[in-house]
Amino acid sequence: MNFKDNKAIYLQIADRIGDQILAGTLTPDGKVPSVRELAAEIEVNANTVARTYDHLQQNGIIYTKRGLGYFVSPDAREKIVNLRRQQLMQGEMDYFLGQLKAVGITPDELRQLYSDYLNK
Amino acid sequence: MITINDISFSYDKRNGDLFHDFTLELNAGNVYGLLGKNGAGKSTLIYLMTGLLTPTSGEVQIDGVNVRRRLPKTMSDLFLVPEEFELPNLSLKKYVSINSPFYPNFSMVDMQRYLDIFELGGDLNVKLNALSMGQKKKVFMAFAFATNTRVLIMDEPTNGLDIPSKSQFRKLVTAGMTDDKLMLISTHQVRDISSILDHVVIIDQSQVLLNAGMADVNARLAFRPQREGDQPIYSQQSAMGTLVAVPAEDGEETAVDLEMLFNATLQAPETINNLFTAQK
């Protein structure tokens, strides 16, 4: 794993698990690797991974079964999509729109670009 | 778990104390990074912590027992990997059979697993003096981890390791760590170990300048490109422009850049100290 991004490591790991859920590598009600397994796999401190799992649990993306470990919530996919939408709107979108304005791209041009992109 | 209580120490009294009334408490369940400039006293501190040097006053305790007494129950639960060491001219198998009885929790299964992580799994009959310096270091570290002592202290463990072994070393730490253990890694190679630390201790001129959990650093300091209106504690130039260490705004959490944290702490120790002692 590469930590180039300047997001806190525990959030980067949360993104990675989110990606795996969206890609279907981790399935609803499927087991998530234990804290220690994942820590050793990605060479990150176990307490950092534990923090990731707390964060995912608070967002309803994973849940625990006592003594059995962590599992993917049935509606994890929707929750991740919603969270990412929010993040996109608050973060990157603002920057992106600013850039569009700076180089003078009109709403019509943007509409055209986006529909071309979707049809690609 | 380890209590360093008001210790003073000097190699040569004419030059004054290297450590003077130095106090530090380290707790089980953490991987500590010990950072300091050359000559800051990192190795000396490690020798004092492991009972190899005697403080002129004060004492170091592990679970309440003075390490200088070097009681078997202390020494069998403590392992030091020094920066430089010699291995005897024996086979690995012989070395393990001679040395492992000193460590009641030694596990051959773990030893094999750690050798596998370092891709040295094959031959236990290999002669230790036939190994390269880097290989010796890896074999010795595999043994150190396999002793399962609750305290494991390593001085510059990634020095002399090749590029793949640095990742393997991180794997060893994350796979070998448990809640009842304490690991302390002294190093200048902060990029090698940043992701595996729980806690960072920065010392200079026998002072603890910073002793903080990584989550705490996350919450209090942000490391990122400079923005307008920033009042950085520390800044440095990079290909991406000026990077700064600034007090984190609410909810702002960036990855900890240990190199910048170290430089910031040495450059502005009081600002850092105030930031970390403030209520959060």
Domains of chain B from N-terminus onward: 2-85+147-205 (3.40.50.300), 212-277 (no CATH)
Spell out the residues 6+ positions from residue A52 whose beta carbon is closer than 8 angstroms to its own: A10, A11, A13, A14, A17
Residue A1 lies in a domain: no
Which residue is associated with the tokens 């595996």? B196
Give me the mean pLDDT over the A14-20 stretch. Answer: 94
Q: How confident is the model at residue A1 (pLDDT cuts 50, 70, 90)?
A: very low
CB contacts < 8 A, A to B, total: 55
* Same domain, yes or no: A45 and A101: no
| Nearest one of B159, B158, B190, B187 to B172, comparing CA atoms | B158
* Same domain, yes or no: A55 and A110: no
Q: Is A37 on the interface with B (CB under 8 A)?
A: no
Which residue among B167, B195, B253 sits closest to A45, beta carbon to beta carbon? B195
Q: Is B167 on the interface with A (CB under 8 A)?
A: yes
Q: Which amino acid is at B160?
A: G
Which residue is associated with the tokens 């639960």? B77
ipTM exceeding the 0.85 mark: no
Residue B280's pLDDT is 65
* Same domain, yes or no: A89 and A66: no
Chain A residue numbers with beta carbons less than 8 Å from the beta carbon of B224 are 6
Which residue among B170, B198, B253 sits closest to A8, beta carbon to beta carbon? B253
Give me the mean pLDDT over the B215-238 stretch. Answer: 88
- The SS3 call for residue A58 is helix
Tell me the pTM: 0.85
pLDDT value at B110 more than 90? yes
Residue A3's pLDDT is 42
> How many domains are contained in chain A?
2
Sheet holding B234-238, edge to edge: B221-225, B241-247, B234-238
pLDDT tens profile B39-63: 888 999 999 999 999 999 999 999 9
Give me the mean pLDDT over the A8-14 stretch. Answer: 91
Return d(Cα B269, Cα B261) in angstroms, integer. Answer: 11
Residue A69's pLDDT is 92
Q: Is A99 on the interface with B (CB under 8 A)?
A: no
Chain A residue numbers with beta carbons less than 8 Å from the beta carbon of B198 are 45, 47
Q: How confident is the model at residue A4 (pLDDT cuts 50, 70, 90)?
A: very low
Residue A5's pLDDT is 56
* Same domain, yes or no: A65 and A112: no
Q: Are residues B195 and A36, on separate chains, in Cβ contact within 8 Å?
A: no
Q: Is B253 on the interface with A (CB under 8 A)?
A: yes
Residue A73's pLDDT is 95
Chain A residue numbers with beta carbons less than 8 Å from the beta carbon of B253 are 7-8, 11
* Same domain, yes or no: A95 and A42: no
Domain of A14 in residue numbering reads as 9-75
Residue A7's pLDDT is 83
